[in-house]
Amino acid sequence: MISAEFVVERDDFLMDIKLEIPSIGATVLFGPSGSGKTTFINVLSGITKPMSGLIKVGNATFFDSENKIDLPMEKRGIGYVFQDGRLFPHMSVEENLDFGRKRSNDKTSRKQEIIELLGLGQLLQRKPSTLSGGERQRTAIGRAILSGPSFLFMDEPLAALDFARKQEILPYIATLKKNLKIPIIYVSHQMEEVVRLADHLVLLENGKILDHGQIFDVINSPSLGILLGKDDKTSLINCHVDKKNGKDGLSKLLFPGGYFLVNQQNLVPLENVRIELKAQDVALALEKPVATSIANILGASVAKIETSKDTNCDVLLSVGNVSIWARITQQSASKLGLKIGSQVFALIKSAAIRPF
Amino acid sequence: MFNLTTIEIDAFYLTLKVAFFSVAICLPLGVITAFTLSRLNFPGKWLLDGLVHLPLVMPPVVVGYMLLLLLGRRGVLGSWLYDTFDVTVAFTWKGAAIASAVMAFPLMVRAVRLSLDTMDRGLEVAARTLGASRTIVFLSITLPLSLPGILTGTILAFARSLGEFGATITFVSNIPGETQTIPLALYNFTQIPGDQTPAIRLLTISVVVAFAALIASDLLARKVKNRLGTKFEADQ
């Protein structure tokens, strides 16, 4: 666990932070450009020195202004993947990978595993200047992991890449997260990366933490709505791809409470995926429709009804253990006579479900 | 025409020897000074910067005279060197090397510093996050990446030493076989009326040595560029 409490000066504002970050899974720092995300991980990794504070990672004290402790960055054991990769241009890919590995305590294992995981096998003898943007970033990730860090920091590692390259690298990072069990702090201002990777979410704006916590809670935080300039709710649901495809080429995604049928062929059976479901894509019915084009009809009970300023309201549904938001008009809500505990059916078109 | 006299052969070897030792003094000190000026902040940095550049803007004769006052047999440092180590630099080839080194020093420092200033400092930070200490970062990242600047500085310093005249003649005089380098010998010949052949021979030697140095530096620069992987930059 990281426990950080510090004040750091920036050109435009003073950043006053108090936060604890679990050492399990991926924590995404999300916020607009200039909100202090990079400053935050730079302070933790020792690149930027705070004015005052106390920073502890596990049992180690990284920084303690009261006792004049400021652990040099090479002793902090943090793997840092920079936005621009920062591969050493005079070394081959393999020499880059070995640079941190030579100095880590864990020299033996892993190298082959990481090379395979990141698809670097063909690149080992190449110089960084001959690599594509995606290959460079994969090398940078491998280099950071092979230094045997207790935490992996990633500062918008995909920001410098075009859309196709992003799609190429995101799966690698997701696999990494699953296979390596190194806690990750990931800086991003892309919702797609948040939805796909985050287990915990920290929202930052102008050097202040607006909200933080489990992704499933924070994803619908009003602060996030303000940051994104929208007020619609989203449901994130962890699913498991069924071992065989459903009928008619639809994939079957199991979750505790039922399954979704989605129109996506490239899902790997038995993989875990997370789906994003926007509230306005969920409709409600009191009786199970018989003749309908809608592929997903789930029995649910109403857990909460939130009325918003306009003519809509958001209904929180419990489907098994899973929560799903539905946005309907207030008129529809009163027509259906919805109240807490009502038994309803949630109707979701398979095209509205986005698996990651 | 090309039967060299003893004076000319001595001058040729002496010039190379003086230039070689001048660079040998300049190189390590220049890299350290450039690194200090580029990477460290300390009070009085402007003073060091100014001192380094003085020989570039002062008349060489003035530099030579200052060296004489400082390192001459009765000079502040010179008398101490003589008493303690029994070493005399004034009016010897060692003094000529020192005079050349002082004159070439700002060129060396400027070239290396330019390289250090334009280097991506982020690479050094990245190396430290990978567990490398400051010393290791300097040796494995900073130094190799500033090789082009170090190379340029070395060539400039070498060339400057080959041609050094004013500071040398003032500090160590014009003694054949001891301090009479090619420019000094050439100067001597031009002062004597009559046959110009020896002067032209020395001129030719000067041109050949200068060209050889340029070609060698070009070959080295290519090698360094390849090693740094910049050869492919155009493909990006």
- Taking CA–CA distances from A153, the nearest residue in chain B reads B129
Q: Which tens digit of pLDDT belongs to each residue from B145-172?
A: 999 899 989 999 999 999 899 999 999 9
Chain B residue whose CA is closest to A147: B130
From chain A, pick out residues whose CB is under 8 angstroms from the CB of B235: 130
Residue B234 — pLDDT band, cuts 50, 70, 90?
very low
Percent of chain A with pLDDT over 70: 98
Which element (helix H / strand E) includes A225? helix A222-228
**Does residue B141 belong to the interface with chain A, where contact is any CB pair within 8 Å?**
yes
Stated as kind and residue range, the H or E segment containing A208 is: strand A208-214
Distance (Å) from the alpha carbon of A71 to chain B's nearest alpha carbon: 12
Interface check for B133 against chain A (CB to CB < 8 A): the answer is yes
**H helix intervals, chain B:** 6-39, 45-57, 60-71, 76-85, 93-118, 121-129, 134-137, 143-145, 147-163, 166-172, 182-191, 197-228
Contacts of A104 in chain B (CB under 8 A): 131
How far does B231 lie from chain A, in Å, by closest CA?
A: 8
Q: Which of A312, A349, A336 is nearest to A232 (CA)?
A: A312
Per-residue pLDDT tens digits for A227-252: 887 777 888 888 888 877 656 777 88
Determine the 3-state secondary structure of A165 from DSSP.
helix
pLDDT at residue A47 is higher than 80: yes
Phi, psi of A314 (to 5 degrees): -105, 130
pLDDT tens string B17-71: 999 999 999 999 999 999 999 999 999 999 999 999 999 999 999 999 999 999 9
Q: Which of residues 27-46 of B touch A (CB under 8 A)?
A: none
pLDDT digits (tens, 9 = 90+) for A68-77: 999 999 999 9
Strand order in the sheet with A322-329: A282-285, A343-348, A296-307, A312-319, A322-329
The span from the CA of A63 to the CA of A73, in Å, is 11
Beta bridge partners of B92: none
Is the distance from CB of A160 to CB of A84 less than 8 angstroms?
yes
Yes or no, beta carbons of A103 and B232 under 8 Å apart:
no
Residue A13 exposed, middle or buried by CB count within 10 Å (0-12, 13-18, 19+): middle
- H/E segment holding residue A20: strand A14-21
Cβ neighbours of residue A188 under 8 Å, at least 6 residues apart?
A: A28, A29, A30, A37, A156, A194
Domain spans of chain B, in order of start: 6-228
Q: Which residues of A71-85 are buried (b: 16+ CB within 10 A; e: fewer)?
A: bebbebbbbbbbbbb
The ipTM value here is 0.82
Question: HSE of B1 in the Cβ direction (CA atoms, 13 Å)?
Answer: 8
Q: Which residues of A touch B144 (CB under 8 A)?
A: 90
Tell me the C-alpha distance between B171 and A319, whole Å.
Answer: 94
- Give the C-alpha separation, B234 to B236, whole Å: 6
Question: Which of A14-28, A258-272, B136-150 has the weakest average pLDDT?
Answer: A258-272
Flag whether residue A79 sits within 8 Å of chain B, measured between CB atoms: yes
More confident residue, A244 or A35: A35
Rounded distance between C-alpha atoms, residue A120 and residue A135, angstroms:
8
Write down the pLDDT at residue B2.
64
- Mean pLDDT check: name the lowest of A71-80, A279-288, B225-234: B225-234
> Nearest 5 degrees, angle CA A247-CA A249-CA A254?
65
CATH class entry, domain B6-228: mainly alpha
Question: Encoding tokens for residue A55?
Answer: 């920073």
Q: Does B131 touch chain A (CB under 8 A)?
A: yes
Residues 142-171 of A with CB under 8 A from B: 143-144, 147
User: Taking 60 as the threshold, does the pLDDT of residue B1 lie above it?
Assistant: no
pLDDT tens figures, B100-146: 999 999 999 999 999 999 999 999 999 999 999 999 999 999 999 99
- A90/B229 touch (CB, cutoff 8 Å), yes or no: yes
Supply the pLDDT for residue B222: 84
- Residue A308, pLDDT above cutoff 80: no
Q: Is the pLDDT score of B79 beyond 90?
A: no
Burial profile A118-134: b = 16 or more Cβ within 10 angstroms, e = fewer:
bebeebeebbbbbbebb
Cβ contacts (< 8 Å) between B234 and chain A: which residues?
Answer: none
Residue B231 scores a pLDDT above 80: no
Residue A126 reports pLDDT greater than 50: yes
Taken in order of first residue, the domains within chain A and their CATH numbers are 2-230 (3.40.50.300), 235-355 (2.40.50.100)
Task: Centre a 10 Å sphere on the Cβ of residue B2 and count the other Cβ atoms it contains.
Answer: 7
In this structure, of A303-307, A350-354, B173-177, B198-202, the range with the lowest mean pLDDT score is A350-354
Chain B within 8 Å of A13 (Cβ-Cβ)?
no
